[in-house]
Chains A and B, each alone.
Chain A
Amino acid sequence: MKGTKMKTTTTHLAPWAAYGVVFVGALVMLAPFYFMFVFASHSRSEIFNLPPPIWFGDDLLVNLSILTQKIPFWRNLGLSLYVAVISTILTLLFCSMGGYAFALFEFRFKNALFGLVMATMLLPSFMNMIPTFMIMNLLGWIDEPRALYIPGAASAFGIFLMRQFVASSIPKDLVEAARMDGCSEIGIYWRIVLPLLKPALGTLGIITFIASWNNFIGPLIVMRSPEMYTLPLALRGLQNPVNTEWGALMTGSAIATLPLIVLFILSSRQLIAGLTAGAVK
């Protein structure tokens, strides 16, 4: 196959050292996750034993009961899930519609509008922090989940990803042919474009879900009462300079992280390709 010539040059000792470095590095990357799950099953005093625990203990359920006493944990988890699901659905819908329009239609101000959308993609998140709070305050959306999923649906990255995918994989002739046959515009979008967009929708869906699940600044600004906290906010609320329940905190963190790890293992190639789509293009 390819690279047979290069193989001959790699048969020194040095590459073995490099293999070692790559593997040790990978372990360092994964170690914090391992300890998160190990600590989740230990009490606070065990976590800070010397030496610290390196294998699973049996305090997981105790930690979970401390967690549910201190914060409305299941409610926070449900809210996170609810916001992430609605965000994902709205983003997929609006961005596929918009991306399709940008890719296959000609209309006034198209390039200017697309340029404006792209310009906001790199805009630092702190720029919108204060005005967003004030707008949500005016709308009366403080402590409302819609304050998170409605603005989230206007994703510049989503528009970019969808436009690229439509432009590269849906031929204009196909849309024209359907139009000739008397298919309505909504029918074209719903029955032709959307099914062909499935792979890109999958990628954008996973990215949106993860971003919403992990979102911290958004809820920090608009969610003010603990029973409306999403999971990251609720966990951070458990941190306490005097008396942090580390075991329970680790259990909560592990539960918040587990779905992401599963999702990542199932879809890592698709996810990595999607997240770096802007770079490779």
Chain B
Amino acid sequence: MKLPALLRLSPRFAPYALLSPFVALFLLFGVFPLGFSLYLAFQTWEPTGGLRAMEFVGFDNYAFILSDEWFWKSLQNTLWLALVSGVPQHLIAIPLAYFIHSSFKRMRNAVVGAYFMPYITSTVAIAILFSSLFSTDYGLINAGLRTLSQLPIVGGLFSGNSVDWLNDPARIKPAISMLVFWRYVGFNVVLYLAALQTIPKDIYEAATMDGAGRLQQFWFITLPSLRPMIFFGVTLSVIGGLQLFEEPFILTDGRGGTDQAGMTTAIYLYRMAFDFNDFGAASAMSWLLFILVALMTWLTNRAFRSPEARSR
């Protein structure tokens, strides 16, 4: 088959031709929006007036956001949710992965699959299901708690009263955290399993010979070897946690809940643009949140730096 001359690329130009569709889309929809958003953050704009209606306002949008009570409230919510849904994910995923790694052979793929499944399914479908499970009077979660409270010994730990998970400002964040934990713990289990597979077996065998028990082996061999992966996993949780949007958005009907108790900063910036029509302020808010994400990532990095590097 002879190709027309135009299509017979020389090897020199081939990479450019191969990359051009991707790069064109990447620049237009990946890079350009960032610059545009930075520009917007310094403008005031009435969407109905068309693009001409933009007006430069300097740092006004930032000043407005920084003095906005809802912004600070949303930041508190976001940090609370990132912490309460994020930390337990790792505290549970590490021992779970360790145990699956050391004791499961045949059932392993099925078990890992069960834990991983929430991660790949639709957030919306799942959040809708959870909002029915969290219903006050007849939801399954309250029904379960009520049953537990009637058990003989442990019953005292649980209250028999129905909890208004989704409307009580004090309960909405725990409800969101439960959903987020359920959705992402399996992802972390898979990360830690991958890291555990790279630890050489003979280290454990040598430790067993020396009389180290399983707990000691976990503490002195497994945990230190997992350190780089813990750093990676925690970084992903920090970045993901600070941009939390879909789960609270669905559970609070897109508004952030009673007293904005479930409103994350990502939800607030969406509302600022699409409910309150202030695109400039919303863009400024996205940059402030971005700075926070970068800062928290940097802090995580510092916290996980190896002891040798720290002493320098």
Contacts and interface: CB of A to CB of B under 8 A. Distances in A.
- A contact face: mostly helix, strand, loop, or mixed: helix
B295 interface: no
B121 A214 contact: yes
Nearest to B208: A5
B148 interface: no
A258 B208 CA distance: 46
A110 B33 CA distance: 22
Interface in B81-104: 96, 99-100, 102-104
Q: Report the contact-size class of chain A (Cβ under 8 Å from the partner).
A: 35 or more
B309 interface: no
A101 B269 contact: no
B34 A127 contact: yes
A32 B126 contact: yes
Contacts of A249: 128, 132
B125 A232 contact: yes
A188 B253 CA distance: 52
Interface string A35-76: 110010000000111111000000000000000000000000
Contact of B21 (A3, A52, A94, A279): A94
Interface residues of B, number: 99
B243 A129 contact: no
Nearest to A213: B122
B88 to A, nearest CB: 13
B274 to A, nearest CB: 8
Interface stretch (B62-70, B219-227, B282-290, B299-307): B282-290
Contact of B115 (A25, A257, A264): A25
B128 A253 contact: yes
Given A105-B15, A214-B123, A239-B250, A22 B111 contact: yes
Contacts, number: 284
Contacts of A102: 19
Interface stretch (B1-9, B153-161, B169-177): B1-9
Nearest to B255: A241
B213 to A, nearest CB: 8
Contact of A120 (B22, B30, B253, B254): B30
Contacts of A122: 239
Contacts of A276: 190-191, 194
B190 A272 contact: yes
Contacts of B289: 124, 126
A150 B29 contact: yes
A236 B96 contact: no
B3 A30 contact: no
Best-buried of A2, A39, A98 by chain B (most CB within 10 Å): A98
Given A127-B290, A214-B123, A253 B15 contact: no
Given A3-B201, A98-B18, A271-B120, A128 B191 contact: no
A101 B15 contact: yes
B22 A95 contact: yes
A225 B271 CA distance: 18
Which 4 A-B pairs have CB atoms at the shortest separation, nearest pair first?
A131-B33, A48-B138, A154-B25, A151-B29
7 contacts: A49-B138, A95-B22, A120-B30, A236-B128, A250-B132, A269-B109, A279-B233
